[in-house]
Amino acid sequence: MTLEVESLRFAYGRVPVLRDITCRVEAGRLVAVLGRNGSGKTTLLKTVNRILRPDGGRVLLEGRDLARLSPRQIARRIAYMPQTQTAAYGTVFEAVLLGRRARGGGTGDADLRHVADILNLVRLEALAMRSTRTLSGGELQKVVLGRALAQEPRVLLLDEPISHLDPANQIEIMSLLHEVTRGRRMTSLLVTHDLNSALRFADRFLLLKDGRVLADGDRAVLTPEAIRAAYGIDAAIADVDGTPVLVPHLKAVRPHRHLHTHAHAHARADGSVYTHVHPHGHRHAHEVDDHVYDHDHAAAHGEHEHTHPAA
């Protein structure tokens, strides 16, 4: 099912967040929505789902304007996993079953069979009767995903679904999303800050900057130049054993402050010597390369000024 976003605009009060966002996503595609904090990623998902009503533009699903659909009709087509997620108290089966109610279902035989199928799909069948209060973070994330899939959506919107997971669970969730998106011919938009997971599993990339589309396309658009424009960092992209990997560089010119302790010997009137220790600090800007906290100042920038606290 093709999802089209045409000239979408949204503002919080007088502060514009989305500025003429336009993109088109075909069925069976997992799209990584990338960009710095505040670039409009979450707002884009919420306006696509009509949690937020756009100030202009429109969202089309198979050519049909979502503005003309009721909330129930939208819930039959679009499922949304927000950044902050909770599973209803009860069993895993009951939590996933709530997805059926979102689309108007209930507890009929067809609904129960569908939930059982979803639990097998997300590999939670062995935990069906477990309380959601006893689950790990990765298990809970799969419950929330199962609840979304129980809606039988054609579009899946996910806001940072792996941000709090360990590497093994990140890979499992991303693999599952990729498999489900392709296998069920869904359209999935995934907001993430994990560029390496995006490179490994996403089919397309949508880079946002200041509420505008900076780049839109397959892996070819995720260039070092695009990364620099979107995030303000330099990075290299390479293949490691067939897996694309992005490595950020710490090379940049930035102001920073260093504190030092100096010891000075002083002579007393009686001829004895004592040592006075005092801190001093200086602030400077210069190019730093793959270090964060300290470096050889003389080699880096030569002379600098000191500020000393009063005695």
Q: What stretches of the chain adopt beta strand conformation (E)?
A: 3-12, 15-25, 29-34, 56-61, 64-65, 78-81, 155-159, 187-191, 204-209, 212-217, 235-240, 243-248, 252-267, 273-288
* Rounded mean pLDDT for each run of 10 residues along the chain, 311 residues in total: 92 93 94 95 94 94 91 90 76 92 81 92 92 87 90 93 86 91 93 94 95 94 92 88 84 56 71 68 54 48 49 47
Q: If you write DSSP's letter for every residue of 37-82 in order, what string do you get?
A: TTSSHHHHHHHHTTSS--SEEEEEETTEEGGGS-HHHHHTTEEEE-
Strand-pairing partners, residue 69, are none
Strand-pairing partners, residue 191, are 33, 159
Task: Report the alpha-carbon distance of residue 94 to residue 98 in Å, rounded.
Answer: 7
8 Å CB contact between 124 and 139: yes
Residue 229 half-sphere exposure toward CB, CA atoms < 13 A? 14
3 state DSSP class of 2: coil
CATH entry 3.40.50.300 includes domain 1-77+153-233: yes
pLDDT score recorded for residue 212: 95
8 Å CB contact between 39 and 45: no
Task: Report the alpha-carbon distance of residue 124 to residue 285 in Å, rounded.
Answer: 53
Closest CA to 49 of 85, 8, 92, 17: 8
pLDDT score recorded for residue 280: 59
- Cα separation values, 87 from 65, 97, 99, Å: 31, 11, 11
8 Å CB contact between 275 and 265: yes
pLDDT score recorded for residue 80: 92
Q: Residue 15 contacts by C-beta under 8 Å, 6 or more apart in sequence?
A: none
pLDDT score recorded for residue 105: 73
pLDDT score recorded for residue 298: 47
End-to-end CA distance of the chain: 73
pLDDT score recorded for residue 79: 93
pLDDT score recorded for residue 294: 47
Q: Residue 22 contacts by C-beta under 8 Å, 6 or more apart in sequence?
A: 5, 6, 7, 8, 57, 213
pLDDT score recorded for residue 261: 63
Domain ranges of the chain: 1-77+153-233, 86-152, 252-301
Whole-prediction pTM: 0.78
